[in-house]
């Protein structure tokens, strides 16, 4: 069994999506663990990690999400394990989940330092499991170049099998290759792939928003796989809104208070994939019926309109277990832009 730690310098680099894409494209039997959870969700009376829960479903791994993470809170982990106990628990978990599989992916924490105080940072995990260490970096060319230079100059990668880096979310691949790749090669760092930025991977589904807001779905449950491409905040009058070009964009999400019946009706009669109803105000039955007929989800949340939009500004477009189209797309771009053989061996 080949063990591979997928780590990142910074949060939001795209580790989970890259693991999912490689797993789909590799043609091997894949296992997955995430020793230190960092995207906490409460499901079925258990604390689980969102990424772990999704990848278990996508990879067809039959175990509970809490079986592939040692925990979330640093304080609880320090109380439960000493250094030796932590190492033994990590090895046991890897051996159990990896049994009978060709490759075991181990997802690192939100950044390279995350988990250092409990010996679960990505480099410590790679050493403890004798795993290959692959780093995901993303951002503009200067940031990527800075991150790779920092790793080479100041981080001890000699104690692990440093497989190289995958550069993610690159706006112009050809420009990156011409302007930055020669300097990276000169550092002796192997570039395993350069993945272009794809807007399709930044879109939310209504199902994802329902989960993140813990929303009550009052209509249109059949449309939860609808993909949101544009967001319109219904804070102005309906007439003004309808004159706004954004209101007439395709696949839009409307965010408005549940008592804005005129606004909601106008949205339901245009290209709208869902509505977030703020302030816990339920619209009239006729609107609920119309949304049900059109399979347009109505998500009821207790927050005001400003708070909903503020929270969405900080959302990453995470994978969900029903992201079938996104998974197909991820598999294809990984095939096109990543040296899969060099990653999985």
* Residues in Cβ contact with 198 at an 8 Å cutoff, skipping those fewer than 6 apart: 329, 333
Confidence grade of residue 192 (pLDDT, cut at 50, 70, 90): very high
Percent of the chain at pLDDT above 90? 59
Confidence grade of residue 45 (pLDDT, cut at 50, 70, 90): low
Query: Given this model, what pLDDT does residue 318 score?
Result: 57
Query: Given this model, what pLDDT does residue 308 score?
Result: 92
Confidence grade of residue 245 (pLDDT, cut at 50, 70, 90): confident
Model confidence over 110-161: pLDDT tens digits?
899 999 999 999 999 999 999 999 999 998 999 999 999 999 999 888 889 9
Q: Which two tokens stand for residue 68?
A: 């592939």
Query: Given this model, what pLDDT does residue 174 score?
Result: 94
* Average pLDDT of span 287-295: 95
Measured CA to CA, the distance from residue 17 to residue 297 in angstroms comes to: 26
Q: Give the lowest-confidence range in 48-57, 206-215, 299-308.
A: 48-57
Model confidence over 48-100: pLDDT tens digits?
667 777 777 777 777 776 688 888 888 888 888 888 999 999 999 999 998 98
Query: Given this model, what pLDDT does residue 312 score?
Result: 84
Query: Given this model, what pLDDT does residue 320 score?
Result: 59
The CA angle 113-114-115, to the nearest 5 degrees, is: 110
Quick check: pTM over 0.85? no
Measured CA to CA, the distance from residue 63 to residue 66 in angstroms comes to: 8
Query: Given this model, what pLDDT does residue 322 score?
Result: 54
Burial 236-271 (b: 16+ CB within 10 A, else e): eebeebeeeeebeeeebbbbbbbebeebbbbbbeee
Query: Given this model, what pLDDT does residue 83 score?
Result: 87
Q: CA quadruple 4, 5, 10, 16: dihedral positive or negative?
A: positive
Percent of the chain at pLDDT above 70? 93
Measured CA to CA, the distance from residue 262 to residue 275 in angstroms comes to: 13
Measured CA to CA, the distance from residue 251 to residue 341 in angstroms comes to: 38
């Amino acid at each position: 069994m080949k063990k591979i730690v997928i780590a990142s310098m910074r949060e939001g680099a795209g580790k989970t999506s890259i693991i999912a894409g490689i797993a789909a494209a590799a043609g091997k039997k894949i296992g997955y663990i995430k020793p230190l959870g960092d995207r906490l969700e409460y499901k079925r009376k258990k604390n689980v990690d969102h990424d772990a829960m999704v990848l278990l479903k996508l990879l067809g791994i039959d175990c509970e999400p809490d079986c592939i993470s040692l925990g979330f809170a640093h304080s609880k982990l320090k109380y439960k394990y000493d250094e030796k106990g932590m190492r033994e628990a990590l090895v046991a978990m890897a051996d159990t989940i990896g049994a009978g599989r060709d490759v075991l992916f181990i997802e690192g924490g939100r950044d390279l330092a995350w988990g250092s105080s409990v010996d679960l940072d990505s480099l410590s995990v790679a050493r403890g499991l004798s795993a290959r260490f692959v780093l995901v970096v993303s951002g503009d060319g200067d940031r990527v170049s800075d991150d790779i230079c920092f790793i080479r100059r100041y981080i001890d990668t000699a104690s692990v099998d440093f497989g190289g880096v995958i550069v993610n979310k690159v706006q112009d691949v050809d420009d990156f290759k011409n302007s930055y790749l020669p300097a990276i090669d000169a550092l002796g760092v192997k570039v395993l792939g350069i993945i272009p930025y794809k807007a399709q991977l930044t879109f939310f589904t209504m199902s994802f928003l329902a989960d993140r807001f813990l929303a009550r779905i009052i209509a249109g449950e059949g449309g939860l796989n609808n993909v949101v491409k544009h967001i319109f905040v219904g804070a102005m009058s309906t007439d003004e809104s309808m004159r706004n070009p954004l209101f007439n964009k395709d696949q839009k999400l409307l965010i408005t208070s549940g008592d804005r019946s005129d606004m909601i009706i106008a949205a339901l009669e245009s290209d709208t994939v869902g509505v977030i109803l703020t302030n816990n105000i339920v619209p009239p039955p006729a609107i609920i019926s119309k949304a049900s007929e059109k399979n347009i989800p109505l998500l009821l949340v207790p927050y005001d309109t400003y708070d909903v939009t503020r929270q969405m500004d900080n959302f990453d477009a995470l994978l969900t277990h029903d992201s079938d189209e996104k998974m197909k797309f991820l598999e294809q771009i990984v095939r096109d832009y990543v040296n899969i053989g060099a990653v999985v061996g």
